Amino acid sequence: MANVKVIFGSTTGATESAAAEIAAAFGVTAVNIANASAEDFKADLLILGSSTWGLGELQDDWAAKIGLLEQADLKGKLVAVFGLGDQNGFADTYCDAMGILAQKSKARGALLIGQTSAEGYGHSSSVAEENKLFCGLALDDNNESEKTSSRIGAWVETLKHHLG
């Protein structure tokens, strides 16, 4: 069985709920970045999640502990990212924090998996999007909470496919 770690930062609980659902699908427990250590970044598949705050910024706990990611040896490791945002209220920075986590992971040598289509979303801009693809799973619990579980389920299946 592959070693899967889910690490998240959550302020209001929505990202924590998504992380718990993702982790449960892999039979693991999600780790809050506020309580994480360097050891938590050692995995066959590392799944990182953050909500976006302010003008496209990382969630506060992620911002405080980003050094753990910036120092992690992710060379050749599978990394998937997910993010929560408000595509209506913050259409120009939708899920930017997810994009930040993806960029920092790739800078550490990670192999990013789990890209999803940006079709059907109502945002105008995101650093997490390139060529109509999000770098990971974009969720909007503010405006589309009814789609969250099905999006997570489909995404988890693609991640499991990458693990073999």
| CA separation for the pair 99, 123 (Å, rounded) | 14
Domain boundaries, the chain: 4-163
Q: Which architecture characterizes domain 4-163 according to CATH? A: 3-Layer(aba) Sandwich (3.40)
Grade residue 13 by pLDDT with cuts at 50, 70 and 90.
very high
Kindly state the percentage of the chain with pLDDT values over 70: 99
The CA distances from residue 151 to 3, 117, 144, 155, in Å, are: 23, 11, 11, 6
- pLDDT tens digits for 115-153? 999 999 999 999 999 999 999 999 999 999 999 999 999
Question: Which of 58, 106, 37 lies closest to 78, judged by CA?
Answer: 106
This prediction's pTM? 0.97
Return the pLDDT at 61: 97
Question: Which of 101, 127, 90 lies closest to 33, judged by CA?
Answer: 101
